Amino acid sequence: MDESATGSQVDAFEIEIAVRTYELDMLGHVNNAVYLNWLEQGRLSAMERCGYSVRSLARDWLTNIVRAEVDFRSPTLYGDRLIVTTALARVGRTSFSLASEILRLPEREIVAEALAVLVWLDGDGRPTPLPADFEARWKASLSGVCERKPPTERA
């Protein structure tokens, strides 16, 4: 995972999650597929904070995951409280990468690290340039100064 950060990420969005009973497998720990759901929640929450709502992403700003990697470090169990971090790792012309960590509270122990590569698509499902202000909106959202206005047109 060459693009992911290690340890606690400084410039990352965070959401908190509690492990629920229906996320457990027959061995009593969280099923590995559930981690992808948690990572999606973190990713969508981060995009929302940048002004790209789920509705607008579905209607106007299409993204598609073309790569997802997860390195599992430690099992999670019912009752664990977790933090999902999402950080912008790379910005390209038509794609971007997000590095994530899932941390167990209260120690913030890393239980999983992940990398997702997403491609921005046009209405026909073809790669298209990212919005011109994508990276700036991400950074502004982290500092709390991002306005809740629609993103600018694509570059």
Between strands 109-121 and 81-91, the pairing is unpaired
For the question of residue 124 being annotated catalytic, the response is: no
DSSP-based three-state secondary structure for 92: coil
Between strands 13-18 and 109-121, the pairing is unpaired
Measured CA to CA, the distance from residue 23 to residue 45 in angstroms comes to: 20
User: Which one is catalytic: 2, 11, 25, 60?
Assistant: 25
Beta carbons within 8 Å of 52's beta carbon, 6+ residues apart = 61, 151
What is the number of helices (H) and of strands (E) in the chain? 3, 5
Contact assessment for residue 82 and residue 104, using Cβ atoms and an 8 Å cutoff: yes
Active site residues: 25
